[in-house]
Structure 1
Amino acid sequence: MTQLNLDLLRRLSEIDGVPGREEHARDLVRTEIEGLVDELREDALGNLIALKRGTAPEGERLRVMLSAHLDEIGFMVKFIDDQGYLRLQNLGGFDTRNLFARNVKVWTNGGELPGILTPGGRPVHIASAEDRKKVPELREFFVDLGLGAEEVRRRVRVGDSVTLDQAFREVGDLATGKAMDDRASVFVQIEALRALQDTPPRHDVYAVFSTQEEVGLRGAVVAAYSVEPDLGVALDVTLAVDTPGVGPDEAVSKAGEGVGIKLFDGSMISTRFLVDEMIALAEANGIPYQLEVLPLGGTDAGAIQRSRGGVPSVTLSLPTRYIHTVVESVHKKDLQATLDLLVAYLKH
């Protein structure tokens, strides 16, 4: 069992990086893993690819590709109106019910600007009954920078990224904050590389910190093509809808009951022999696990599996409550179980 470094998880959660602008998160990861791996490179799409060489003779070593994505859901400025309000293009999927009155950061060439994200329309004091029932569309949201239109145009340009602003905190047994999708898995991947220092893997491990997952698994597509793996293991979050208002048949997974071993999602059906190996390892090592079927969504394993002539692939999923909000919550026991199973697999 590896001790959880929650300060690293905090820093990963709070740092910013929307699809296509992952450089802050990538730089943090680079700092953490330099010295833990034998090779480290960045490709044309901004994927950070780390190689930890195995101990087996060169002709006998397989290439095992891990992938956890750096990007978080966010926005891009698409228009500045006559009053200086910013209109947005989403980068990833949002439920607009979770976007009311949010603090945001706008990332400009001159640095970050604090802003307020909210939909247009009447406040509750003067809203009609019909107004109060309405769920606004994303096109109705704007960012208020508290500056005049001329100053906004001087400092902001179309294409600047916008991220949600939220501090990490611990709530009981939960670690809660923005971008746990997928920085919690990035955390697991970093800590797995650290755990391999004492007992190196038998096979070559390519740990990919991928880009642009939230807009179509794009980074993993090119990373898998260049790595040419024999096996693929994605690390990502999954739904833990073990909360009021949802039946147990729709929960997908439950927080605190162990790592999710994915069977199916919208991007892939996991390779069965890898599923069976993960189950056997979990049971042999006393690692709590649950089997996961996710009706929609996908992970980097969907890209890895379809690379070149096909790659046997599976996803280890971290059960997460309130996905795609600023209070994404992972259970510490599930973090531990995911890390333990990944390390056991790589050493096995």
Structure 2
Amino acid sequence: MKLLQALTQTPSVPGREDRIRKVIQDYVTKQNLFDEITVDAMGSLIGVRRPRPEKGKASKKPIKVMLAAHMDQIGFLVRHIDEAGYLRLNPVGGFDARNLFARKVRVCTTQGDLPGIMNASGKPIHIASDAEKKKIPEVTEFFVDLGLTGDQVRNSVLIGDMVVLDGPFEEVGNSVVSQCLDNRVGCWALLKALEGLKHHNCEIYAVWTVQEEVGCRGAQGAAYGVHPDIGVACDTTLCCKTPGVPDEDRVSVAGDGVCLHVMDSSMISDIGLVAQFEAVAKANSIKCQRAILPRGGQDGAMIQRSRSGVRTIALACPVKYIHTVTEMTHKDDLESYHTLLTAWLESL
């Protein structure tokens, strides 16, 4: 789990993916996973792997498969520094304000990273009225305290510097817990799948995309450039088989394997590809499950709609408590994710 830990502990919000891109690029270069590596204009990392057939020569016109996993995590950009040095933030990605109280954060500056504390504006519990205690603030009402003077802060922090929630990576029971498993799990699964892939007849374009959390922006340009025959988005999904959620709203079940996203609000997966993945899973005794996410989207939508249209499917790892610093995913689901992706690529 060291690779996944390294990925989750590397801050990179939309538009600021350079750190995580370097981690991934260094890794794939060391493992010699690709024949060609490039970075496109928006910052997505693209690795090209030519066919490596087990027998005979490669086809002159192999199937072109685009595998996409977004590198960015939800976070903030500094939008204002007041006279006392408190930072006001602009979110990049979707947050539930109920999960932001009293959080440790990391403010990433050109001079180094600064630890800070995030809290909401307002009175502490000892002097707050009953009405004030019940109020849930807007995300924009939260601020960051760096424990420094106003001058010290202004000498270090710039408008547009990224801020991320700061939480550890831990193994808890049969699961792992960390910030930004969405979508460092998808990045990890793609890396592990390619590491396990020995022979394949297709031409693979593995793309670690940017700015998914603010509208799947990186995938749009990357898909146009790759012009694939098949697209596979590698992401995470809700796992709500937890107290307080009706069973019909669970979306997925922890430990039942990687999800084949039948649909979400951004796309409907190609049903032929869903059946293909299920057949490969059955033949190789790999756990998987179907899921529908009523709201939310992912990079597959941009791949599917690119040029004249692309057959596309989304794979997603079940994650509890998504978009918090305590995202949790089952180890069995992690294992099935990359194992199924490798087996499917070998089957083409």
Q: Which interval holds the TM-score relative to the shorter structure? A: over 0.9
What residue in structure 2 maps to residue 18 of structure 1? 13
What residue in structure 2 maps to residue 169 of structure 1? 170
Distance in 2, Cα, partners of 1:139 & 1:339: 38
Task: Give the superposition deviation at 1:125.
Answer: 1.6
* Alignment of structure 1 residues 229-240 onto 2, 5 Å: 229-240=228-239
What residue in structure 2 maps to residue 41 of structure 1? 38
Task: Give the superposition deviation at 1:234.
Answer: 0.4
What residue in structure 2 maps to residue 3 of structure 1? none
Residues 159-192 of structure 1, C-alpha deviation per residue, up to 9 Å, x if partnerless? Answer: 1111111110000011110110000110110011
Residues 46-69 of structure 1, C-alpha deviation per residue, up to 9 Å, x if partnerless? Answer: 100001111363423011000001
**Kept after mapping to 2: 8 A contact 1:74/1:163:** yes
What residue in structure 2 maps to residue 302 of structure 1? 301
Distance in 2, Cα, partners of 1:201 & 1:211: 27
**Kept after mapping to 1: 8 A contact 2:65/2:231:** yes
The letter of the residue matching 1:105 is: R
The letter of the residue matching 1:52 is: R
For the pair 1:50 / 2:51, whether they are aligned, the reply is: no
Task: Give the superposition deviation at 1:118.
Answer: 0.6
Distance in 1, Cα, partners of 2:178 & 2:147: 26
Distance in 2, Cα, partners of 1:156 & 1:57: 53
What residue in structure 1 maps to residue 119 of structure 2? 118
Distance in 1, Cα, partners of 2:281 & 2:135: 47
What residue in structure 2 maps to residue 245 of structure 1? 244
What residue in structure 1 maps to residue 332 of structure 2? 333
What residue in structure 1 maps to residue 73 of structure 2? 72
Instruction: Give runs of ≥4 in structure 1 deviating > 2 Å.
Output: 55-60
Distance in 2, Cα, partners of 1:260 & 1:140: 36
For the pair 1:107 / 2:108, whether they are aligned, the reply is: yes
What residue in structure 2 maps to residue 209 of structure 1? 208
For the pair 1:292 / 2:287, whether they are aligned, the reply is: no
What residue in structure 1 maps to residue 276 of structure 2? 277
SS state of the match for residue 297, structure 1? coil
150-159 vs 310-319, which moves further: 150-159
Distance in 2, Cα, partners of 1:264 & 1:125: 47
Task: Give the superposition deviation at 1:261.
Answer: 0.4
**Kept after mapping to 2: 8 A contact 1:75/1:163:** yes
RMSD between superposed Cα atoms in Å: 0.9
Distance in 2, Cα, partners of 1:228 & 1:22: 23
Task: Give the superposition deviation at 1:113.
Answer: 1.0
Percent identity of equivalent pairs: 48
**Kept after mapping to 1: 8 A contact 2:91/2:140:** no
**Kept after mapping to 1: 8 A contact 2:261/2:314:** yes
The letter of the residue matching 2:39 is: E
Distance in 1, Cα, partners of 2:100 & 2:121: 12
The alignment covers a number of residue pairs equal to 341
What residue in structure 2 maps to residue 316 of structure 1? 315
For the pair 1:185 / 2:186, whether they are aligned, the reply is: yes
SS state of the match for residue 304, structure 1? helix
**Kept after mapping to 2: 8 A contact 1:224/1:304:** yes
Distance in 1, Cα, partners of 2:140 & 2:242: 30
The letter of the residue matching 1:135 is: I
Residues 271-328 of structure 1, C-alpha deviation per residue, up to 9 Å, x if partnerless? Answer: 1111111111111211111111001111110110000000000011100000000011
87-96 vs 33-42, which moves further: 33-42
- TM-score, normalised with respect to structure 2: 0.96
SS state of the match for residue 315, structure 1? strand
**Kept after mapping to 2: 8 A contact 1:33/1:193:** no
* Alignment of structure 1 residues 142-153 onto 2, 5 Å: 142-153=143-154
